[in-house]
Amino acid sequence: MSRPSDYVDTNRLWERHMTMATYGATASGGVTRLALSPEDAAARRQMIRWAAPLGLKASTDAAGNMFFRLCGSDPDAPPVVTGSHLDTQPSGGKFDGVYGVLAGLEAVEAIVAAGIKPRRSIDIVAWMNEEGSRFAPGMMGSAAFAGARALEDILRVRDADGVTVASALEQTNELVPNVPTRPLGGAVHAYVEAHIEQGPILERENYSVGVVTGIQGKRTFRVVIEGEAAHAGTSTRQERKDALMAAMSMIQALAGLLHDDADVVKFTVGRLVVVPNAPSVVPSDVSFSIDLRHPVSDELVRLGDCIATVCAQHAGPCEVKVEELSSALSLEFPSSMKDRIRNAADRIGVRTMDIYSAAGHDARYMHDICASGMIFIPCYKGITHNEAESALATDMADGARVLAEVLVELASSES
Ligand SMILES: [Zn+2]
């Protein structure tokens, strides 16, 4: 019998990435495809066009996740799920997230071409809002699917223009009509996610596939400071409640506290909103984001727990509120999944190395509900969340070949 990996088509996989990249294409070769935007809807419609001729059944759930199912011979057996996300950062690239969805499609197309009818169904999933740049925090769809976050809370989240997830989702469903709905969540046999590494290691070490050992933990916060608007010329320093001065003092104190000589802690303030943001008005309201990561869960907990206290200490005359938006400890994928990926790659002559994921992925939430694993492929110089993001067609094909083998194994397994 021929192997499914033999049917992976390097060129088709590459071309599909180029087609996907037209939905939200930027002038400098990147992609802006925010979650639940018209571009996201166009990408979803494209997926339907590719999936339909393969006989895959499209469906969507209440959290806006989209599924494409290759039906197994035992429809009652929990499915094997593979995929990632179609949304990008505001100036993102052609491969982050998209690769996992299209590698899943390629793997399933190869399985069909090899004449294999697996026992379990295989679902290719495009999770809603992984990036979290339009609606924070990210990984909303997988969190809702896995029961880590309540759907009602997610639907209430607003973007910078005040649009809720609920209304953006309604709009997306109008733009992608006639897709049957399926219940949110449900039993899953196993989850495998393919993704670009988003770091330089695989490329430097010259491996086309990395077996992901685990994911670095992350806590995100929103700090909201309330001061008072005043005239920049007439109000004295004594009288001022300058929310931006308070924010600066907090950020500086946090940067000091979170500085480690070993350079392991990752502390980022990526978003700062100043109100009224006028040159001659003392800022009345400031909010900023905190993204804190550490591979050791205990350290992540300890450091994150200091944030509210440090902010309160540096608030000066202003009021400060620190809200934790998400908390995910560092995790290790089960050996059974890592071994399966390693062995499948071995069998088809793809060399692998073990690699730790410093970035978060939807697999984090799936790990809570089923055996999960990830496959990384190299990306050019580790550049990501950037319009220059790139990957090699041959590496992409190697990842899809390994994925195809792993999916067939998982889909035929009894337990
Ligand atoms: Zn991603």
Confidence of residue 2 (pLDDT cuts 50, 70, 90): confident
Contacts for 288 with CB less than 8 Å, ≥ 6 apart:
222, 223, 247, 251, 269, 271, 272, 273
Share of the chain above pLDDT 90, in %: 97
Residues 292 and 15: their CA atoms lie apart, in Å, by 37
The answer, yes or no, to whether residue 394 has pLDDT greater than 70, is: yes
pLDDT tens-digit readout, 38-59: 999 999 999 999 999 999 999 9
Give CA–CA dist 307/109, Å, rounded. Answer: 48
How far is the C-alpha of 60 from the C-alpha of 178, rounded, in Å? 10
* Residue-level pLDDT at 13: 98
Nearest to 93 by CA among 202, 214, 197, 217: 197
**Quick check: 303 and 297 in contact, CB under 8 A?**
no
Residue 326 pLDDT more than 90? no
Crossing angle of helices 38-51 and 10-20, rounded to 10°: 150
Expressed in angstroms and rounded, the spacing between residue 246 Cα and the centre of ligand 1 is 34
Determine the distance separating the centroid of ligand 1 and the alpha carbon of 384, expressed in angstroms.
Answer: 9
pLDDT at 414: 79
CA of 20 to the centre of ligand 1 (A): 15
Name the DSSP letter for residue 70. E
CB atoms within 10 A of CB 117: 12
Q: Is 151 helix (H, G, I), strand (E, B) or coil?
A: helix
Whole-angstrom distance, CA of residue 292 vs CA of residue 306: 12
CA–centroid distance, residue 208 to ligand 1 (Å): 18
State mean pLDDT over 347-373.
97
Q: What is the pLDDT of residue 281?
A: 98
Confidence of residue 137 (pLDDT cuts 50, 70, 90): confident
pLDDT tens column, 247-297: 999 999 999 999 999 999 999 999 999 999 999 999 999 999 999 999 999
With 90 as the cut, is the pLDDT of residue 375 above it?
Answer: yes
Mean per-residue pLDDT for 159-163? 97
Give the largest Cα separation in the chain, rounded: 84
pLDDT at 1 over 70: no
Using CA atoms, how far apart are residues 81 and 190, in angstroms rounded to an integer?
6
Report how far residue 114's alpha carbon sits from residue 106's, in angstroms, rounded to the nearest whole number.
Answer: 12
Distance 193 CA to ligand 1 centre (A): 10
Label residue 413 by pLDDT band (50, 70, 90): confident
**Mean pLDDT, range 111-135, rounded to an integer:** 97
Percentage of the chain beyond pLDDT 70 is 100
pLDDT tens for 239-252 read 999 999 999 999 99
Ligand 1 center–CA 360 separation, angstroms: 8
